[in-house]
Amino acid sequence: MENRMMQECKKGKVWLIGAGPGDAGLFTIKGKKVLDQAEVVVYDKLVGQGVLGMIPAQAKLIFVGKVSGHHPIPQHEINEILLREAQAGKRVVRLKGGDPFVFGRGGEELELLRQHQIPFEIVPGITSAVSVPAYNGIPVTHRDFVSSLHIITGHTKKKDEAEIDYEALVRLGGTFVFLMGITAMPKICRGLLKAGIEKDMPAAVLERGTSAHQRRVVSDVSHLAEDAEKAGIQTPAIIIVGKVCALEKDFHWAEDRPLGGFKIAVTRPKDRDSSLADKLSMLGAEIMLMPTIETKVIADNKPLEDAIHDIRRFDYLAFTSPVGVEGFFNKLREMKKDIRDLGSIKFAAIGSATREAIEKRGILVDLMPSVYSGKALGSLIAAESEEWGSKIGRKPEVLIPRAKIGTDDVIRPLEEASVKFTDIAVYDTFEASYGETDKAGAISKLIDFAEEDVDYVAFTSASTVRGFVTASGLSDFSSVKAVCIGKKTAEEAEKYGMQISTSKQATIDSMVECFLSLQP
């Protein structure tokens, strides 16, 4: 068994993974687990941006760009890419929109792998044939209306338009879902009518299903093509014909959510989770994660080590970010120390997120300002220090482990109050750097999203603004609608002429409230 596993590892392996219809929340748990281990990812145009954002940073990206009617990389070349990368001993993920076996040509991609005895696995995805109608309030089956579901392709390998036996379909009845059939819509409708389907049979075309900007045109078979043309429907879209289409009036829901219709780019540190993205997504927003900055803990940090060796001399330990908390406690653990070595030191946090990071370590925070800013934190410590100093008979001393590029806001009030402090850099912040094969470099070049696709950009620090400006490649930011977490962040966004909304408080929850007050 062990020899077989080593042989497979040496040869490489391919996973065909269905990425679903676009909404990252519909990506399967198994798909995510396999993707996390990928060394090479070969992906299509129709894979949602949210799923693309899950690709691990170390993975080599190969974009094969297949969309309906436009295949810049022929299928046989895609097959050869998969073979070549697997033969190089790589864990290869073939990431496809929808499900790889529902008109996804997954079977064709396996043939060459099978010929060369390359091991493979299939991870099914949620097909757009059922998920897109569901997001538009159309159940593809309903006992009061239909007893069957038929999924038909609008074109085949050899022809732009599929040869469909419309008479057989009409005799069967049920719900008809046509994938990749937008260009053939007039012919499809004529074929169904000629085969005897009722002229007023409900029909719909669903564009960009499961995304924030999904659209639908609900009509009947006789008028669907005309109505879709008037509405300017574009690909990707699917056609659905059947009595169930009439139910969308009662069952629509996606756009009714508090942030339904919003597409929001959430800037964040590279390789860090975003609680803001999670909260916005739960309210119905489509999220595009933008890793615009990266933080790196300063590894060889003698000043911090010296401070920890003499930690009992400090009376306050003040943190200005969760990253600072992580950097400090990682160093504490590295030095074989724990919270018992901290004695009676008091903990101060700039805001709720930093407080949560501290309390996860089993320590309750003593001080946190009502206004989440460096100046407010410094002023609060200065005020408390006077009272605390009278109790201990000396001036208290403060240790501030924070960013290398931290502002003077937090230390200025301490200087003015003559409070002794030690300011130590525990991490540094950089604009995220992307190579040609880096996931963010390939995916998150913003692709004109500020003007065409994304409704708002969320900024949680001034550094995320700067990172966004560098990564975007845009020359004019006047069309970017920015939602900023606080005054400093808003001031940075103002420098570039962005349209700015600022949360009332410098908290994630306050940012969410700000979004709820806006229009998509």
Contact 374, 292 (CB under 8 A): no
The burial class, CB within 10 Å (0-12 / 13-18 / 19+), for 488 is middle
Contact 503, 486 (CB under 8 A): yes
Edge-first strand listing for the sheet containing 215-220: 149-153, 175-179, 237-241, 202-207, 215-220
Which pair of tokens denotes residue 299? 């590894």
Please list the active-site residues: 44, 66, 180
d(CA 56, CA 29): 15
d(CA 421, CA 416): 12
Closest CA to 45 of 86, 104, 90, 102: 104
Closest CA to 96 of 72, 130, 62: 62
Which pair of tokens denotes residue 336? 């074989």
d(CA 495, CA 477): 10
Query: What are the CA-CA distances from residue 119 to residues 87, 125, 312 (Å)?
Result: 10, 20, 58
Q: Are strands 237-241 and 175-179 parallel, antiparallel or unpaired?
A: antiparallel
**E-assigned strand segments in 164-305:** 175-179, 202-207, 215-220, 237-241, 263-269, 286-297
Which pair of tokens denotes residue 500? 């700015």
Angle between helices 275-282 and 508-516 (to 10 degrees): 30
Cα-Cα end-to-end distance for the chain: 56
Contacts of 45 (CB under 8 A, 6+ apart): 63, 65, 66, 67, 97
DSSP 46-95: TS-HHHHTTS-TTSEEEE---BTTB-SS-HHHHHHHHHHHHHTT-EEEEE
Residue-wise burial string across 448-465, b where 16 or more C-beta atoms lie within 10 A, e elsewhere: ebbeebbbbbbbbbbbbb
